Structure 1
Amino acid sequence: MERHLRRSLEVLRDRADDPALRRRMDEVLAGRASLRDLARDDGFDAMMTPLVERGMHDLDELSPEERARAEAGAAALERGEDPWAPEDEAGADRAPYRPPGPGTW
């Protein structure tokens, strides 16, 4: 889970238009600031709100099969597993749903 959160924050940082927000994300990644502080930041909120709204919309559009695979991926993350590992590593018949597009929402 830590690796997934770190990679997600790196993707968000790389996509941020605001240099000050990118620096704050770098501070979190370097361990000099907390994710909790970043989550309370107005600039971070302004960046994340449309991404979360789009993600919620995309979730509503999933087919039942896609939703089940997304739920399996979320459960794997909660167990500390990599839901996108090759099937032989994940021990599953089929890899869980991976959201469209690069990175994370």
Structure 2
Amino acid sequence: MSGAQGMEPDKAPLMEVLRDDPALAAQLRKSVQVLADHAPDPAMGQMLRQVLSGDKNLRDVFAGTDFPEMFRPYTEAAVAEVAHMTDEEKEASVEQGRSQIDAAYEAARATQSAPASGEVDDDEYFRNRGSILKSEW
């Protein structure tokens, strides 16, 4: 995978379906980076770094390896950690996660580029076109 057209590999979404959701794309990229940095198998870490650089496709890596089994110890440890948390700790963790996601969306929204000159932003057009009764139809 070479990333989205015209985007640097470290900015392109890892999955094309996330092209229009930069905050979620950034969250996925961050998660894959954490997995690459802490992979229990050096070969898996290298594959994930290739995904991050755009040399490999995330779906292919996931489908073509024993990915779930390799990371089972990490998921089991996370589940065990949550099981020992109090309700207040869980709620605080949820709120922290929501805040981080909201901040990521705000940052993505602030850095999204406006349409190139000449391009019409359909959402903006429909938001600002006014009433049909006032149009010159």
Is residue 47–residue 61 contact of structure 2 (8 Å, CA) maintained in 1?
Answer: yes
Structure 1: stretches of 5+ with no match in the other structure: 83-105
Pick aligned residue for 2:86 from 29, 39, 63: 63
Deviations 1:58-83 (A, max 9, x none): 1111111110111112323443539x
**Contact 1:21 1:43 (8 Å CA) reproduced:** no
Higher relative contact order (CA 8 A, sep 6+): 1
Q: Distance in 2 between matches of 1:21 and 1:41?
A: 11
Paired with 1:16 and 1:7, the residues of 2 have a C-alpha distance of 14
CA RMSD of aligned residues (A): 2.5
Matched, 1:44 2:67: yes
Q: Share of identical aligned residues, percent?
A: 27
Amino acid at match of 1:79: D
Q: Distance in 1 between matches of 2:99 and 2:93?
A: 10
Higher Cα radius of gyration: 2
Distance 2:40 2:73 in 1: 14
Question: What letter is aligned with 2:82?
Answer: L
**TM-score normalized with structure 1 length:** 0.58
Shift of 1:19: 3.2
